[in-house]
């Protein structure tokens, strides 16, 4: 679980724990957080074709958020300003995980696929959660409804279909 991360070494350790030990990061200290950017080879950078995003580790809580590819000092400044103003960070929380999304395929034809989605909030694992259906158009990829949970479910199911050649019958995502 998250906790204070007052040193650069603790930040490196947390990154290895969360994202795996094979990644290396450039780390910039801000007043309230550690701005971290994955270090990649020039070949990897060329293959991705875009800027690398940043992570910020909140020094007080250990919560990790993902941020844009702006320069690390700019991200640090922005994070410090929002923290001092008592506002939530600009980024999306990636650690600790906040929710579990479970997909179960309900139908599939040549053009569409349907899933029943059950969302569980990890802070309340025994809570009722939320259940909804999503319908995905396969080409081009579109989904209804257009909420964030449906978007996440669609992108994960689509990625799985691209990797295996079939849409998953069942899938669980934690984020």
- For the chain, what percent of residues have pLDDT higher than 70? 94
Which tens digit of pLDDT belongs to each residue from 63-87?
A: 988 888 888 999 999 999 999 999 9
Residues 15 and 33: beta-carbon distance below 8 Å: no
* pLDDT reading at 152 higher than 60: yes
3-class SS letters over 126-154: CCCCEEEEEEEECCCCEEECCCHHHHHHH
Q: Which residue has the tokens 């295996």?
A: 164
Asked whether 67 and 90 are in contact (CB, 8 A), the reply is yes
Q: Over 70: is that where the pLDDT of 120 sits?
A: yes
| Residue 22 neighbours by CB under 8 Å, 6+ apart | none
Alpha carbon distance 2, 58 (integer Å): 10
pLDDT band at 1 (very low <50, low <70, confident <90, very high): low
Res 28 pLDDT > 90: yes
Report the pLDDT value the prediction gives residue 49, as an integer from 0 to 100: 56
Q: How far apart (Å, rounded) are the C-alpha atoms in residues 61 and 18? A: 15
DSSP-derived secondary structure for 10-43: HHHHHHHHHH-TT--EEEEE-SSEEEEEE---HH
Judge if pTM exceeds 0.75: no
Sign of the Cα pseudo-torsion (78, 7, 18, 130, in order): negative
């Amino acid at each position: 679980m998250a906790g204070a991360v007052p040193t650069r070494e603790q930040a490196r350790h947390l990154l290895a724990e969360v994202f795996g030990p094979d990644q290396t990061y450039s780390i910039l200290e801000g007043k309230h957080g550690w701005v971290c950017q994955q270090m990649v080879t020039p070949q990897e950078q060329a293959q991705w074709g875009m800027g690398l995003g940043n992570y910020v580790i909140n020094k007080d809580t250990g919560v990790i958020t993902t941020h844009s590819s702006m320069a690390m000092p700019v991200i640090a400044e922005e994070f410090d300003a929002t923290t001092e103003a008592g506002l939530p960070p600009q980024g999306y929380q990636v650690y600790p995980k906040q929710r579990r999304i479970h997909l179960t395929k309900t139908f599939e034809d040549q053009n569409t696929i349907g899933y029943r989605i059950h969302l569980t909030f990890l802070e309340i694992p025994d809570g009722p959660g939320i259940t909804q259906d999503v319908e995905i158009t396969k080409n081009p990829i579109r989904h209804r409804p257009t909420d964030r949970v449906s978007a996440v479910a669609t992108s994960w199911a689509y990625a799985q279909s691209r990797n295996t050649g079939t849409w998953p019958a069942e899938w669980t995502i934690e984020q």
